[in-house]
Amino acid sequence: MNKLYLWGIIIVAIMLGATYYTIFLTKGGLNDDIVNMLAIAGAISLVIITVFVVIKYVRQMQSDTAQGQLADEQWDGIGEYLNDVPMGWAIVFLLTMIWGMWYFTLGYPVNAYSQIGEYNEDTAAHNAKFEAKYATITGQRLVDMGKSVFLAECKVCHGLNADGIDGKAADLNVRLEAKSVKYAIENGSNNHLLGMEMPMPDRNGLFNSNTGALITDEEIEVVSKYVANGMSGAGADVFAGTCAACHGEDGKGMEYVAPSVATFSPELVTNILGHGKKGAIGKMPAFDRLNAKQKEAVGAYVTSLSE
């Protein structure tokens, strides 16, 4: 027997023996699980095919010589033979296609049972039960629920006291900080704060009606501090000329136009939780794992912090 084939048999035997030892002697077998059976069958097939395909081409490199008709094109003196696709490759490709169609339709169809699918179904059922049970909660009970969710999901970044942990995240005890206002003015915003796509232009689209010109660096500085200071102090004229058209004279926003920059609202926080938000500090992810009632509760809690 050729040494290459002998080594191939030895390698296959070792790998299959290791697989048998791992699955049947340490893991307790396949437990009649179709997924495990398919995985082992695939592994065995790959081992055997890989080893003997390698052997075939090693032998071919040792003994075969190139032959056939050369193509007309050459690259730096290197030509290409006009040979047909090897029959073995064509057969393996066809068998792979047939196996793939069988796997997705009969072997393990896409609508078959899966643990992930069961988890998603259980989660959806639990959320529906949760929302039905707590649908009527309002007032202080809703705020208390929001505090519990906040401590479980939000305190990692915003801190136990919602103060942002020294700038790691937004300080939720105030509506906006000056740096956040300045970032939004300079870069614009499209964070779905109204629950829909309503982008705010960057500074190149913001005109001060009082001066008839684009907002300046000095005006950005003063109006940022004005908003961060609770809509008071210097900068009221800049806000009135540049921002009030969308955010309202009192900064509390206009429906379908712009959000409130003066106060939080449960709806505003809910939209941030649903879509995430990009700002001066960085990007906050969306919290899809929270259901609608939990988001509403967090919104009620965050709103209560600055009241």
Per-residue pLDDT of 117-159, as tens digits, reads 788 889 888 888 888 888 888 999 999 999 999 999 999 999 9
CB 285 within 8 A of CB 276: yes
Report residue 180's pLDDT band, with 50, 70 and 90 as the boundaries.
very high
Average pLDDT over residues 18-37: 73
pLDDT tops 80 at residue 166: yes
Gap between the Cα atoms of 53 and 62, Å rounded: 14
CB 220 within 8 A of CB 203: yes
Report residue 28's pLDDT band, with 50, 70 and 90 as the boundaries.
low
CB 239 within 8 A of CB 226: yes
Question: What percentage of residues in the chain have a pLDDT greater than 90?
Answer: 37
Listed residue (278, 277, 274) closest to 294, CA to CA: 274
pLDDT of residue 264: 92
Average pLDDT over residues 278-300: 90
pLDDT tops 90 at residue 7: no
- Cα–Cα distances in angstroms (integers) from residue 262 to residues 164, 228, 230, 273, in the given order: 19, 8, 6, 19
Report residue 1's pLDDT band, with 50, 70 and 90 as the boundaries.
low
pLDDT tops 80 at residue 243: yes
Average pLDDT over residues 49-65: 80
Would you say how long the chain is, in residues? 307
Average pLDDT over residues 173-193: 90
What does the pLDDT look like over 38-47, one tens digit per residue?
778 888 888 8
CB 60 within 8 A of CB 36: no
- Cα–Cα distances in angstroms (integers) from residue 179 to residues 114, 220, 296, in the given order: 47, 10, 27
